A = this chain, B = another copy of it.
């Protein structure tokens, strides 16, 4: 039912957002909770991997997923170039790896020296050991959107926990920090 009163929304009026518009958007959009994954690909025998929260399942027929990557980032360029990639959905125990692979200054060499992983059989992309679920994908479309690329992929292989093998305990991102689910 419609409540009395009005919302005190902040309107973006200009053609270009102001710095105040962008700052307010950053604060409010940080309040979107999300699971945490590592997106990875391999290009010319080099592994690329980065922590993401901007990913989702699009469709189950055919199984299709999306990840949003900054167009100018190393991982964005690598995923766009290779056309195959993987998503590893993280547990709370992966928080150290998530922090490491989210930092802007990660090295190209030795990126995964401390991160236990195996390779996906379909793409050769890195998949973090102990992921709740993992998906290997083949890109079917890339849509530029503002500063980012929306990379859409069809699932070519997938796996995860044996049912009941472990309480999943997913890693959650909310308000610029990591969290766990209440039990």
Binding stretch for chain B, among A76-84, A99-107, A138-146: A138-146
Q: Which residues from chain B contact A33 at a C-beta distance below 8 Å?
A: 33-35, 170, 172, 181
Question: Oligomeric state, in number of copies?
Answer: 2
Please report the total number of A residues contacting B with Cβ < 8 Å.
89
Residue of B nearest to A36 (CB): B33
Q: Which residues from chain B contact A141 at a C-beta distance below 8 Å?
A: 143, 145
A153-183: which have CB < 8 Å to B?
Answer: 154-161, 163, 168, 170, 172, 174-175, 179-183
* A96 within 8 A of partner (CB): no
- Least CB distance from A39 to B in Å reads 13
Q: Which residues from chain B contact A17 at a C-beta distance below 8 Å?
A: 61-63
